[in-house]
Chain A
Amino acid sequence: MADMFFTKDHEYIVVEDGVGRVGITRFAQGQLGDVVFVELPDVGAQRRQGEETGVVESVKAASEVFSPVSGEVVEVNADLSDHPALVNEDPQGDGWFFKIKLANPAELSSLLDKAAYDALVASLA
């Protein structure tokens, strides 16, 4: 059973067996507009919670992607290099950015659950 959490910066993380799949939310991609380039971390990179772990560029601007948790990057989404538009088309599915092995699963309790994130988005609309 996978658990999904969100950050106030509009990243999501889907956690399964101690590994989190991270991307930006449907709301975030809508705000950014057409994604034309994604810069991903190196596999093996260590990140602390809240640390910059990638960059997403739309036609309008570049935005940093922050890791929702601490850990080691174990995989990146190679499809985004040739198809950055996947972030727009399927942000919470095929448009994921990287997978990270959680160093401290307790950090998840500092993130938003779906209800809390939906409320945040509603307050921004």
Chain B
Amino acid sequence: MSDMEQAPARTPLYARHIALGGRMVDFAGYALPVNYSKGVLAEHLFTREKAGLFDVSHMGQALLSGPDAARRLESLVPGDIQALAPGRIRYTQFTNDEGGILDDLMVTRLASNAAGERLFLVVNAACKQADFAHLRAKLPDLRLDALEDHALLALQGPAAAAVLERHVPGVSALGFMAHDYFIWRGAQLGVSRSGYTGEDGFEISLPADAARSLADLLLLEDDVEPIGLGARDSLRLEAGLCLYGHDIDRTTSPIEAGLVWSMSRRRREQGGFPGAARIQKELAEGVARQRVGLAPDGKAPAREGAEITNADGAVIGRVTSGGFAPSLGRPIAMGYVPPEFAREGTAVNLIVRGKALPARVVALPFVPNRYHRPVKG
């Protein structure tokens, strides 16, 4: 390690992580816990059963505002931002001119004010400086305010709504992918009904002091435990969700990644975002490779980078995420293969330590998601 290397930044909850026995690592420049004393397996299963509290303050939060902000942002992302109603959230990607993905992000449309339309963005920690520079360079007419002093907490799991409602009355009325502001002990909380686990839950943007107080209160609840990055990764993998820099990157297009659902018909037809030529061509003619779920037949996990081979032993792709699925008690993986191998049930091999381990292509997600979608009467 070089002397020039900077010590990782600390989130507002750093002292809590230490006090809770967090095993701290440097993740995207932040000191964050991989797990607490109970370990990844227990934390993962607790989140699926009750509610897990995650410190995701390392993620980039920003307000983008100004005249026509929604239409202007569409020049950088394939998502339909103009159709987003105030208080609604959408998942999209920043694409490059080659149709690859620079980052993936959540966009919330807030109520407009005198200055124009307002959008709340949450981007990946490792990409945030580049994302903000990209926004400032490409949309110089808009105002970008990074919320550097704000923490981000995620409360995820079937008990999340009942628990958070006790502390922040009204939050349980939010539907999946909806956002609203709540005042809690004098602080403004931006609460989103969204997450990265496949469970019902919330992401809460709030000032650092309020984050410490709210986290302390939530952790007093029997139904809440602190959860580290290890379980965050295994939960999102079971939910079939992409991790930037692994399952998606500058070379993978949203179509290859199976993210076509995040584009509206209007955006698919009209284009008008970086790399639209490639993406529209893939929509019309098909892709050369696509992201699939993989289920090894045996017990050995295949991890990121493992080669995927066909029955003849030819390399047809690579695993982009892989590990043990605590909720299933067996290994799972995701990777890219040509479309002729993407059909469910296709037999492939995953090369682990030189051995070809048989696996099958399976549907995503591995564990059914349980988002809060009220049935309309």
Contacts and interface: CB of A to CB of B under 8 A. Distances in A.
Q: Which of A37, A58, A59 has the most CB atoms of chain B within a 10 A radius of its CB?
A: A59
B40 A37 contact: no
Interface in B272-303: 299-301, 303
Contacts of A36: 41, 301, 324, 331
Contact of B230 (A57, A59, A81): A59
Contacts of A57: 300-301, 324
A37 B301 contact: yes
Contact of B300 (A34, A37, A58): A37
A55 B302 CA distance: 13
B299 A33 contact: no
A36 B41 CA distance: 9
B331 A33 contact: no
B: interface residue count bin: 10 to 19
Contacts of B300: 37, 39, 57
A97 B304 CA distance: 26
Nearest to B25: A60
A25 B164 CA distance: 42
B18 to A, nearest CB: 15
Given A33-B39, A34-B40, A59 B326 contact: yes
A33 B323 CA distance: 14
B276 to A, nearest CB: 39
Contacts of B376: none
Given A57-B324, A60-B230, A33 B301 contact: no
A55 B40 CA distance: 19
Nearest to A85: B41
A62 B304 CA distance: 11
Given A36-B301, A37-B301, A59 B353 contact: no
B327 to A, nearest CB: 12
Interface residues of A, number: 13
Given A33-B35, A37-B331, A59 B323 contact: yes
Contact of B299 (A58, A62, A81): A81
A87 B230 CA distance: 19
Contact of A60 (B34, B326, B331, B353): B34
Nearest to B38: A34
B11 interface: no
A55 B326 CA distance: 19
Contacts of A37: 299-301, 324, 331
Contacts of A81: 299
A33 B324 CA distance: 13
25 contacts: A33-B35, A33-B40, A33-B41, A34-B39, A34-B40, A34-B41, A36-B41, A36-B331, A37-B299, A37-B301, A37-B324, A39-B300, A39-B353, A57-B300, A57-B324, A59-B40, A59-B230, A59-B234, A59-B323, A59-B324, A60-B40, A60-B230, A62-B301, A62-B303, A81-B299
Given A34-B42, A57-B324, A61-B303, 10 more contacts: A33-B34, A33-B39, A33-B40, A33-B230, A36-B41, A36-B301, A37-B299, A39-B300, A59-B234, A59-B324
Q: Which 3 pairs across A and B sit closest by C-beta, in order of nearness?
A: A36-B324, A34-B41, A59-B40
